[in-house]
Amino acid sequence: MKLLIKSAKVIQPSSEFHQQQVDILIEDGVIASIKPKIDERADQILEIENLHLSEGWFDSSVSFGEPGYEERETLENGLLTAAKSGFTQLGLNSNINPIADHASALNFLQKENEKQAVRVYPIAALTKHSEGKDLAEVYDMHHAGAVSFYDYKKPVNNPNLLKIALQYVQNFDGLVQSFPLDESIAHKGYVHENKQSTILGLKGIPSFAEELQISRDLHVLEYTGGKLHIPTLSTKKAVALIREAKKKGLDVSCSVAVHQLVFHNDKLETFNSHFKVMPPLRSKEDQEALVEGVKDGTIDMVTTDHMPIDIENKKVEFENALFGTIGLESAFGALNALLGLEKTIDLLTKAKKRFHIPTSLIKEGKMANFSFFNPKGNYTFAPQHIYSSSKNAMFLNHSLTGKALGVYAQKNLVLHESDS
């Protein structure tokens, strides 16, 4: 099959075609030709106003629901949502039922890989049943396709277990993740602890619950060596701790959720449970420090931290609502509005190296793996922009700039339907 992409601007600094407007001919999934103008018969022609493309985007922390929570999201629709949102590769978390803590569970998560444009790279559980007691079968899961090991949103409370994990995975260059939360400090809190949380009568989580855990984890990493990833930072001091650790030469990386870069805890005044996430939205000062950490490279990557929650568990009293927001659909528009186009594309692709995900150079003879987008145009994110089965979107009614249009990957073209 031949696909001809007409008049697309390439955004990939490592490509000779960066910032050039070109036609691209794809034959059987391979880039056959890239020229200013191609006049050749094709089975399908893609021509969209102000079309831009880059290499396919990767998100390092995505949750769906299947198996166990299909009412939240299925694998099939989740991957379709990702494709329409511009993503071609996902790190899929282990928080299903049963927990993905063995090789056969990972095989299930990858069952759609040959059918869909989006490819799943499992983030396997670090411990059995994600209970934090015994190390899971990480070596077997590594061979089954796991790109990292992480008990989703659960800290490694036992420092000796973290020590053993970091030492063990060095045998195969594995990546351990440790969620930054000291549960003994956080206790039963669910929002940022400050004067506002007291006034609102909401139970708070102090910033130092995150910072204390990060400090401990970095000390363990300094002792053991190995590779550590700390997902979804939320505080100013956490950024400073990572910055200092990198100066010391520790092999540590970190991420921030897109919503933490855009919102802060003033949103809690409405008691809207869409804004209940873990880690919680912090202060404006924390938010600004996170943006600065992204700009100066201290924070290595962004994630949507996409977490569908069914209406029965989200549209309830704030205290009883489950943590989480969906974010795949709004990620590009939010980042583009905040940071500009080239920085946005860099952030949506640079995590691949850390997770050993294949990159894709836009060059003749290479397999085509593209994300399509239009970086122009402001609009308000609305229900018709949501493709997920669950609708718990923090970005509803927020102004975004530019839209993801779809993807071409694994010989599949997926475009979102026109919306208003």
Catalytic residue IDs: 305
| CA-closest candidate to residue 6, choices 39, 29, 32 | 39
Beta strand spans in 173-237 (E): 176-177, 191-192, 204-205, 228-230
- The candidate with the shortest Cα–Cα distance to 369, out of 26, 18, 9, is 26
HSE (side-chain half, CA atoms, 13 Å) at 89:
22
Angle at 417 between CA 117 and CA 311, to 5 degrees: 85
Structure tokens at 112: 């759609």
Task: List Cβ neighbours of 172 (8 Å cut-off, separation of 6 or more).
Answer: 139, 142
Task: Say how many CA atoms lie within 13 Å of 288 toward its Cβ.
Answer: 3
Helix H or strand E segment including 403: strand 399-409
Which token pair is 37?
Answer: 């103008």
Relative to beta strand 21-27, strand 30-35 is: antiparallel
Q: Which long-range contacts (CB under 8 A, 24 or more apart) does 337-344 make?
A: 337/378, 337/399, 337/400, 337/401, 337/402, 338/261, 338/262, 338/291, 339/291, 339/294, 339/295, 341/11, 341/52, 341/375, 341/402, 342/11, 342/13, 343/295
Alpha helix locations (H) across 85-181?
103-109, 138-143, 159-168
Partnered with residue 406 across adjacent β-strands are: 372, 415
- The CA-atom distances, in angstroms, between 195 and each of 203, 234, 235, 267, 342 are 11, 18, 16, 14, 38
